[in-house]
Chain A
């Protein structure tokens, strides 16, 4: 099991509807709108991927099963962009 957290190299401003985010110092700045901004907002507190999916489901009012694939796919993009990091979850 891995957990997610915002990279120490990420900077961002915005709200639930639109987020401007960049990996600093080199960028480029990116625009996250609509559901992309919702996923970002759900990832900011960190935690397990399941928790991020649950937060998105709660915010959008759509079941976790329905949003899971899209959320996981977008989280992968954010990790690849260096904006989110994964780390092994602490053992119980």
Chain B
């Protein structure tokens, strides 16, 4: 019996799912395991499963779970509002278990995270991961989750998860996925995965998905986030965060914890880059 420094990735990820499940049960938090070994084998686009653990947490339990994770040796690498365009997931690391993405909502079905989680939870099934029963979305919901994830990639049509979860599904199954997308507010995001986003051109929610599927720079992404944000407060938050410095990514780039002067320098670099991008676009418009 030896401690496993060189445990294969797939075994480590499976054990990590089990560890997170038992930890969630210990603090009374509901969560659903998604991706990797949580996915029904028939729906996996890749023979090998993922390199990290992904879970969606009931929104009311996010704070409790994050506290429990910290108490059990998980270190937060990126916070919810620093990770992606959707502010949806925090990324954590544990020396034994590896990486964990905690989703407080899921991109594409994020208008009412509490209601969406309740819907997915009510229809959950269980997957045996490392001999621990882990709650997972039922197979139709698994397909929707995987398709919405694929929709965030540029070559979405070639994404390996699209065929088993959409192209190879029966008409009835695709209808069920569409129905679930309607019930979770994910119809436009699903359209991005199935190549039908053009039908929603001009819709505020479609803007961000267009950036992902057709490509675009950071200015495109931020302007799309601005258009998709609902209400003055949400738009103001997008505007402020478009200039905010992500200390984690800056630290990764510098190779050390950034100092205050380094953060300030990065802030002004971002501000200048933003001004140049806007200026460039204005000049192009004037030339037309």
Stretch touching chain A among B1-9, B195-203, B211-219, B236-244: B1-9
A residues less than 8 Å from B12 (CB atoms): 20, 29
Q: What per-residue 1/0 map shows which CB atoms of B130-155 lie under 8 Å from chain A?
A: 11100000000000000000000000
Contact B2 A24, beta carbon cutoff 8 Å:
no
- Nearest-CB distance from A40 to chain B (Å)? 9
Name the one of B3, B11, B22 contacting A24, with C-beta atoms under 8 angstroms.
B22
Q: Which residue of A lies closest to B18 (CB)?
A: A11
Instruction: Show 7 A/B contacts (Cβ-Cβ < 8 Å), sorted by A.
Output: A11-B19, A11-B129, A12-B131, A20-B7, A29-B12, A31-B1, A81-B1
Residues of chain B in range 105-164 having any CB-CB distance to chain A below 8 Å: 129-132
- The answer to the question of B209 belonging to the interface, with a C-beta cut-off of 8 Å to chain A, is no
CA distance A50 to B53 in the complex (A): 39
- The answer to the question of A90 belonging to the interface, with a C-beta cut-off of 8 Å to chain B, is no
A10-B131, A11-B132, A12-B131 known; A29 vs B18 contact (CB < 8 Å): no
- Nearest-CB distance from B17 to chain A (Å)? 8
* Minimum-distance CB pairs A-B, first 3: A11-B18, A25-B23, A11-B130
How many residues of A are in contact with the other chain, CB < 8 A?
24
- Nearest-CB distance from B210 to chain A (Å)? 41
Contact A36 B19, beta carbon cutoff 8 Å:
no
A12-B131, A27-B96, A29-B96 known; A20 vs B22 contact (CB < 8 Å): no
B residues less than 8 Å from A26 (CB atoms): 19, 72-73
- The answer to the question of A30 belonging to the interface, with a C-beta cut-off of 8 Å to chain B, is yes
A26-B73, A28-B96 known; A20 vs B19 contact (CB < 8 Å): no
Name the one of A10, A24, A31, A77 contacting B7, with C-beta atoms under 8 angstroms.
A31
CA distance A36 to B2 in the complex (A): 10
Name the one of B2, B11, B72, B129 contacting A25, with C-beta atoms under 8 angstroms.
B72
Contact A25 B26, beta carbon cutoff 8 Å:
yes
Contact A32 B130, beta carbon cutoff 8 Å:
no
CA distance A25 to B129 in the complex (A): 14
Q: Which residue of A lies closest to B132 (CB)?
A: A11
Residues of chain B in range 1-51 having any CB-CB distance to chain A below 8 Å: 1-4, 7-8, 10-12, 14-15, 18-23, 26
**Centre residue among A9, A25, A28, A81 by max chain B CB count within 10 A:** A25
**Centre residue among A12, A14, A32 by max chain B CB count within 10 A:** A12
A11-B132, A29-B12 known; A24 vs B1 contact (CB < 8 Å): no
Residues of chain A in range 29-60 having any CB-CB distance to chain B below 8 Å: 29-33, 36
Name the one of A6, A9, A11, A32 contacting B15, with C-beta atoms under 8 angstroms.
A11
- The answer to the question of A22 belonging to the interface, with a C-beta cut-off of 8 Å to chain B, is yes
